[in-house]
Amino acid sequence: MDVLIMNEMGFPILSTLIFLPLAGALALLCIPGDSAAKIWSLVITTVTAAISLPLYWNFDLTTAKYQFGEHTPWISSLNINYTLGVDGISLLLVLLTTLIMPLCVLGSWKYISKRVKEFMICLLLMETSMLGVFMALDFVLFYVLWEAMLIPMYLLIAVWGGPRKVYASIKFFLYTLAGSVLLLVAIIALYLSQGTFFIPAMMGQAYSTNFQILVFLAFFLAFAIKVPMFPFHTWLPAAHVEAPTAGSVILASVLLKMGTYGFLRFCLPITPEATMIFLPYVQWLSVAGILYGGFTALAQQDMKKLIAYSSVGHMGFVTLGIFVLNQRGIEGAILQMINHGITTGALFFCVGMIYERTHSRELASAAGIGKFMPFYVTYLAFFSLSSLAFPGTNSFVGEFLILAGSFADNKILSACAIPGAILAAAYMFRMLQRVVWGGTKNPGHPGLLDLNLREIITLAPLLVFVFWIGLAPEPFMDVMHVSVTQLIKQTGIASHGSVSVTSLMIP
Amino acid sequence: MKLTLFAPELLLLMGGLVLFLMSTGKTSGRTARAITLAMALLNIAVCVGCLRFEGALFYDAYKIDLFSQSLKLVISVGFAIVLLFGTELKGVADDVRPEYYFFLTLSTLGLLMLVSSVELLTMFIALELSSYSLYLLVPMRDDHSGLRMQMESAIKYVLFGVVATGVMLFGMSYMFGLTGTTYFVKLLPALQQMMGNPVAIVAIAMVMGGFFFKLAVFPFHFWAPDVYQGASNETTAFIASVPKIAAVAILIRIVTLVTPEGQAIITMLMVFSICSMFYGNLIALVQTDVKRMLGFSGIAHAGYVLLGLVTLQDAGYATSLYYIVGYLVMNIAGFLVVCKVSQQGENVRISDLSGLYKRSPLLAFTMAVSMFAMAGIPPFVGFMGKFMLLTGAYKAGYVTLVILAAINTAISLYYYLSVVRVTYTASPGDRPALVVDGTTKAVSLALVVIIIALGVAPDSILKIATDAVRTIL
């Protein structure tokens, strides 16, 4: 247990974060009335977010060990434990989750009008399992939470979704669950070879190459579907388009990150040899994803679909960053995971806000809306700029690091990925141009109200992070630095040398 | 003879006698049910009280130990739950209800005796007592549709049952011929030494066949979907869950006969396991009748249970027991919803569940939990059971079997999910809201809680199961 620093804060902060939303969901069962349910969920998610902040303040930046650890035996006959802990890789994802959830409640305030209580219960259950996935250090605990999250997400899409919600929800559920079935077999195989489900104990062990290849393939299928990597992405546009706004935001901001988190936490340190063997294929799949996502996004008329396909491209950058296996690439990938969560989450909120007003997500029907909704277009413009990695915004830092990392690894690869950034500019500007200045005269537009205070508050924190990370990424980079160094050491691949972000950005 | 050792059986026997007397007169179904229910609840208490008793009865043909007593408790609980939610018993005519409860009680009595018997003839008699009562329950259905499906099902059930019994009896005669005894205590060492002998293998395989029939393992499964469809909903709830507990218990007793030299039997178990999983899951995909679908899914689950048996280890047997207990709970939860949705005791098609969410949120929730649990999704008991079965089988070296089982889990998702889909997303159309009485509400909530609790905290029940398995023989 020397890799786990036990929690010494006086109260079990990680368990509190996991179980507070669950308790909130149970309490919701007894709370009558729709508005009470909304307020209660907002309070619970905000309190959870507040409780998560000390994680950042008390985080020890100098060690790669898992911190705030908790350890209780769970199923002793199989040596399964309830073990929690966060390191530099998971901390930011935990914070991202706790930040996004209150915004999701706010963003659903008016959008959800039927079965409000059940909707909020699903949101809170999602929060419990997502936080648990990022904190779990026991593989069974991880798997339980990883799968349990499917049920509330399935219901979010199937009950509150758009016209083709049934198709989309089933596709989402079957794809992701079928993908992770073999993950279970891999977990069992690892357990029997190490005698424990403690994840850090499985890392850096000398498994035979054949064993690694099989385990890697099982891991890869589960995580690649979740990311989703091209060509496993086909569930994503359907799920995104049909899900309610909060569902899309959670999907884009957090769920997709669970796949890339899986790559970082399991594939690289547990099966390093197999990772090296499959490296070129995964890298080229990532580049294919970047280009495919970009081109497809360019052709979309539906704004939600556009952002969904852009996600495929953005996540391609993230997997590329991870699998170039150097410090810059991986740090860029982790930062880009956070960035994508913030930016794409915000863009989905923006589309949801238009949809609430015009009941359409078509670019054509939103054309020219800028004249009547100045606040809205301001937000939309900033988030679009962030999405296309405009310098000064968060995604620029992430994509720059990833491309710098991949350039050090393979110049041809890097050259093939760069057009992805140009494509992003093309489809984002196309959307922005239509929505803000599009000349179409839609009779309904003059009556549209601009954002109200609730909507402004929903988007404001995300905008703050867009610029904060874009202009001063150090506080975020510092968190992950030691852990990433350790990860690269475990992977056994020589680092291409670590360079501070500032020296990269300011020549 | 110490009567306390025989208390649960004695109680059911007395209750059965009372019900028999009532059936000769003009007792209403309501009274009969009240008496049966009171007896079933009392029986749970008695079983709890007798849990730690140990001893032997009837010239050592009948063994009381933790294994038998804990299983008796589970069987009694299953029996009581089926009675509790079967308030209306819509599928059975009022004038035959005393008989109905009489045979249901007798069948439970047979199952209780079955888990305690450690001698071939006792086992045979107990099994037949339980089976024949069930054969009689199936045609008691009062089918409003006039299809008279119950008759066909009953005949099928009896014919297949008799064949299975015949095969089993034949196997028993081999066992007796080889060893000169019918007592397990002596059979065990004698047969274990003869594992290289093909006759011994054939004998064990044939005896197993009788219990494969009860458990609906491929290729002894043919009766299951038809009987499920033909019998009244409450009867099916019982047939589909409770006898399976006893079947797994006895299979464990028989498997302990096998030593690693009996590779043929292990191979047979593996083949049956794989065939059951694939056959059950693939055919279930196209079913429209909920009970038939559950029937085929039951065949698949029987395949999963065999995974624990092929390990030939205590831990594997304990997991099989844990899994089948979990299956009892999640299956009964599903049947509870079927019984309640059915308005006049008719069969329920999957489309009849459309929009159940609006008609009765609690029933819809129970159905969803039951389906997710059977599909093996955490945090429900089905996941933990499958996980431990897979771990055990992997540990024993059956990697291919584990991978095939995992793939089957993925296949089964589709039809479980389609039930949840119609429940939550389809429109109820002109189907009226359902009125659910207090007992049913309490029972379904309790089932949901048990399904979650067993999945989240499997340690305690697993420990009992392991202890129980160790006390065998």
CA distance B414 to chain A (A): 7
Q: Is residue A93 predicted with pLDDT exceeding 90?
A: yes
Quick one: pLDDT band at residue A114, thresholds 50, 70, 90?
confident
Contact flag A170-B466 (C-beta cutoff 8 Å): no
**Which of A48-52, B190-194, B243-247, B318-322 is predicted with the least confidence, judged by mean pLDDT?**
B190-194
Distance, CA of A484 to CA of A64 (rounded, Å): 8
**Nearest chain A residue to B315, by CA:** A77
Distance from CA of A385 to the nearest CA of B (A): 38
CA atoms within 13 A on the CB side of A385: 14
Selecting from A151, A169, A184 the residue whose C-beta is nearest the C-beta of B387 gives: A184
Nearest residue to A271 (alpha-carbon basis) of A205, A189, A184: A205
- How far B138 CA sits from the closest chain A CA (Å)? 37
Q: What is the pLDDT of residues A116-155, one digit of tens each?
A: 898 999 999 999 999 999 999 999 999 999 999 999 999 9
- DSSP string covering A325-336: -SHHHHHHHHHH
**Contact predicate A222/B406, CB 8 Å:** no
The token duo for B237 is 């709830």
Q: Is the pLDDT of residue A352 over 80?
A: yes
- A 176-195 residues with CB < 8 A to B: 177-178, 181-182, 184-185, 188-189, 191-192
Mean pLDDT of B451-456: 91
Q: In chain B, what residues touch A185 (CB-CB under 8 Å)?
A: 390, 394, 402-403, 406
What Rg value do the Cα atoms of chain B yield, rounded?
A: 21
CB-closest option in B410, B425, B459 to A165:
B425
Report d(CA A119, CA A123) in Å as an integer.
6
Model confidence pLDDT, tens digit, residues A293-339: 999 999 998 889 999 999 999 999 999 999 998 888 999 999 999 99
- State the DSSP H helix or E strand holding residue A70, giving kind and residue range, or none if neither: strand A66-75
Residue with structure tokens 């850090």?
A200
- Contact with chain B for residue A121, Cβ under 8 A: no
Confidence of residue A506 (pLDDT cuts 50, 70, 90): very low
**3-class SS shares of chain B: helix, strand, coil, % to 5:** 75, 5, 20
Instruction: Tell me whether A74 touches chain B (CB under 8 Å).
Output: yes
pLDDT on residue B473: 57
Report how far residue B279's alpha carbon sits from residue B218's, in angstroms, rounded to the nearest whole number.
8
Residue B424, chain A, CB below 8 Å: the answer is: yes
Which of A59, A77, A61 lies closest to A9 in space, CA to CA? A59
Establish if A30 touches chain B: CB-CB under 8 angstroms. no
User: Is B383 an interface residue toward A (CB < 8 Å)?
Assistant: yes
Write the pLDDT tens digit of every residue in B320-358: 999 999 999 999 999 999 988 888 878 888 888 888 888
The answer to whether B419 contacts chain A (CB < 8 Å) is: no
CB spacing of B407 vs A181 below 8 angstroms: yes
Question: Residue with structure tokens 């050090």?
Answer: A408
Residue A282's pLDDT is 92
Q: Do B466 and A76 touch (CB under 8 A)?
A: no
User: Per-residue pLDDT averaged across A57-82, rounded?
Assistant: 89
| Cβ-Cβ contacts under 8 Å for B446 (sequence gap 6 or more) | none
Is the CB of residue B202 less than 8 Å from the CB of residue B248? no
- CA distance readout (Å), A33 to A27, A37, A127: 13, 6, 22
Amino acid identity, position A111: Y
Q: What is the DSSP string of A204-259?
A: T----HHHHHHHHHHHHHHHHHHTTPTTS-THHHHHHHHS-HHHHHHIIIIIHHHH
> Which residues does residue A81 pair with via DSSP β-bridges, in sequence order?
A73
| Contact across the interface for B378 and A144, Cβ inside 8 Å | yes
Q: Is A217 on the interface with B (CB under 8 A)?
A: no
The Cα-based distances of B201 to A71, B122, B197 in angstroms read: 48, 22, 7
Does B47 reach chain A within 8 Å, measured CB to CB? no
Give the residue among A115, A361, A233, A32 at the shortest CA–CA distance from B425.
A115
What is the nearest CA distance from A144 to chain B, expressed in angstroms? 5
Cβ contact, residue pair A147, B377, below 8 Å:
yes
Confidence of residue A496 (pLDDT cuts 50, 70, 90): very low
Pick left, alpha or beta for residue B435 (phi over 0 → left; psi -120 to 50 → alpha; otherwise beta). beta
Lookup: tokens for A485: 């160094």
Q: Is the pLDDT of residue A376 over 80?
A: yes
Place of tokens 């996600």: A311
Q: Under an 8 A CB cutoff, do B379 and A148 touch?
A: yes
pLDDT at A495: 36
CA distance B3 to B185: 23
Chain A CB contacts of B466 below 8 Å: 77
Residue range B265-304, pLDDT digits in tens: 888 889 999 999 999 999 999 998 999 999 999 999 999 9
Q: Which of A364-373, A478-487, B284-293, B418-427 has the lowest mean pLDDT?
A: A364-373
Q: What are phi and psi of A246, to 5 degrees?
A: -60, -35
Q: Which two tokens stand for residue A343?
A: 């930016």
Centre a 10 Å sphere on the Cβ of residue B288 and count the other Cβ atoms it contains: 11
Nearest CA in chain B to A159: B425
Torsion over CA: A358, A363, A364, A366 (sign) = positive
Q: Is the pLDDT of residue B1 over 70?
A: no
CA-to-CA distance for A369 and B473, rounded, in angstroms?
A: 80
Structure tokens at A390: 């405009």
Nearest Cβ partner of A159 from B372, B424, B462?
Answer: B424
- Binary contact (B377, A150; C-beta < 8 A): yes
Name chain A contacts of B425, Cβ cutoff 8 Å. Answer: 158-159, 165-166, 169
Nearest to B406 among A143, A169, A181 (CB): A181
CA distance A344 to A363: 17
Asked if B463 has any chain A CB less than 8 Å from its own CB, the reply is yes
Decide if B413 and A174 are in contact by the 8 Å CB cutoff. Answer: yes
Check A147 against B407: CB less than 8 A apart.
Answer: no
Q: Say what the pLDDT of residue B182 is.
A: 87
pLDDT of residue A499: 36
The predicted-structure confidence for A249-280, as pLDDT tens digits, reads as follows 999 999 999 999 999 999 988 998 898 889 88
**Nearest CB neighbour to B410, from listed A154, A170, A178:** A178
- Which residue type is seen at A75? I
- Within 10 angstroms of residue A57's Cβ, the number of other Cβ atoms is 6
pLDDT band at A1 (very low <50, low <70, confident <90, very high): low
Q: Which helix (H) or strand (E) holds A191?
A: helix A165-194
CA angle centred on A63, ends A58 and A67, rounded to 5°: 50
* Mean pLDDT in residue range B443-457: 92
- Which of A125, A185, A217 is the mutation pick for testing B, counting most B CBs within 10 A? A185
B183 at interface of A, judged by CB pairs closer than 8 A: no
Cβ(B376)–Cβ(B318) below 8 Å: no
pLDDT in tens, A417-459: 888 888 999 999 988 888 887 776 677 777 788 888 899 999 9
Q: How far apart are the first and last CA of chain B?
A: 20
For residue B64, what is the DSSP state? E
Which helix (DSSP H) or strand (DSSP E) does residue A83 occupy? strand A80-86
Helix B198-215 with B184-193: angle, nearest 10 deg? 130
Q: Which pair of tokens denotes residue A503? A: 């020296």
How distant is the Cα of B410 from the closest Cα of chain A, in angstroms?
A: 5
DSSP-assigned beta bridge partners for residue B387: none
Count how many pairs of residues, chain A against chain B, have C-beta atoms within 8 Å.
Answer: 81
Say what the pTM is. 0.90
Q: Which of A118, A143, A167, A173 to mutate to test the interface with B (most CBs of B within 10 A)?
A: A173
pLDDT confidence of B233, banded at 50, 70, 90? confident
Closest-CA distance of chain A to residue B45, Å: 28
Separation of alpha carbons A122 and B452, rounded Å: 17
B394 touches chain A (CB under 8 A): yes
Contact present, A75 and A191 (Cβ < 8 Å): no
CB < 8 Å to B399, chain A: 189
Contact call for A173 and B417, based on CB within 8 A: yes
pLDDT bucket at A504, cuts 50 / 70 / 90: very low
Residue A498 CA: distances (Å) to CA of A329, A485, B23, B189? 10, 9, 87, 69
Provide the shortest C-alpha distance from residue B165 to chain A (in Å): 38
Q: Within an 8 Å CB–CB cutoff, is residue B347 touching chain A?
A: no
* pLDDT over 50 (residue A507): no
A75–B458 C-beta distance less than 8 A: yes
| Min distance B135 CA to chain A CA atoms (Å) | 39
- Chain B residues in contact with A177 (beta carbon < 8 A): 377, 410, 413
Cβ separation of A78 and B403 shorter than 8 Å?
Answer: no
Contacts of A167 (CB under 8 A, 6+ apart): A238, A242
B377 in A contact zone (CB under 8 Å): yes
Say which of A77, A148, A178 has its CB closest to residue B378: A148
CA distance B155 to B228: 13
Q: How far does the CA of residue B369 sit from the closest CA of chain A (Å)?
A: 10
Helix pair A474-491, A327-358: axis angle to 10 deg: 130
Mean pLDDT of B87-98: 78
Whole-angstrom distance, CA of residue B154 vs CA of residue B139: 6
